Amino acid sequence: MKLNTSRRLALQHRPQQGFTLIEVMLVIVLIGVMVSAIQFSFSGNKPEQLLEQNSARFAGIFDVAAEYGLLNNVELGLFIEENSYQFLGYDGTSWAPIANNPLFEVYTLPEGIEISLQLDDLPIEETLLFDSSVLINEDEEDDFTEEEEEKKKTIPQVYMLSGGDITPFSLTFSLAEFAFDGDENISFKVSGIYTTPLTIEGPIVNAR
């Protein structure tokens, strides 16, 4: 009996392996996304709630990505295409997907949602205010394989530095023309000014 009691006491006092901060934050974001998805599934598929859900998802994951870069002392970037976005890591020579982090992988927006990126209130086509050349290896040779050439094209538009600074930007989530009726469209605007957390503005009513 004493042996069993001692064993139970030993098990009770055995050190427990805890969770890291980034793991806790990832769980919180995932729970938030799941709750939003459940709420949306009972909402009758309202376009406004779909926009709100996707803008909230983006803001939450961006904040986690910025914290991930800060805790791991790595530079991260946000790469945006026509209807998708993903988070990349910088290894000192090139940008690449972040390994073993599904939350940071390419996310394709639902059909009918469009995103528009602005950097410090300037259209993305304008001159970047952030000196991206600091995070681009200029010593690479001109002869690239097809895979290397594709990697070279994948350069983030928004940067998250390991010190906590981010490129000032805003990302607007809106409905494509075929996805809404009437003379008004709505949108949600996610903004970041030099640091996280991001802010969400909306719904914003826009005249057609």
104: domain CATH number? Answer: 3.55.40.10
How confident is the prediction along the chain (208 residues), in pLDDT tens digits per residue? 444 544 444 444 444 455 566 666 666 666 555 544 444 443 445 888 899 999 999 999 999 999 999 999 999 999 999 899 999 999 888 999 998 889 999 999 999 899 999 996 554 444 343 455 555 554 544 544 555 555 556 899 999 999 999 999 999 999 887 666 665 788 999 999 999 999 999 999 876 6
How many domains is the chain built from? 1
Domain that holds residue 106: 19-207
Single-letter residue type at 2: K
Decide if 41 is inside a domain.
yes
Quote the CA–CA distance of 183 and 41 in Å, as a whole number. Answer: 26
Decide if 7 is inside a domain.
no
Quote the CA–CA distance of 135 and 154 in Å, as a whole number. Answer: 12
Decide if 149 is inside a domain.
yes
Q: How far is CA 180 from CA 89, 113, 136, 144, 204, in A?
A: 36, 10, 41, 44, 14
Decide if 10 is inside a domain.
no
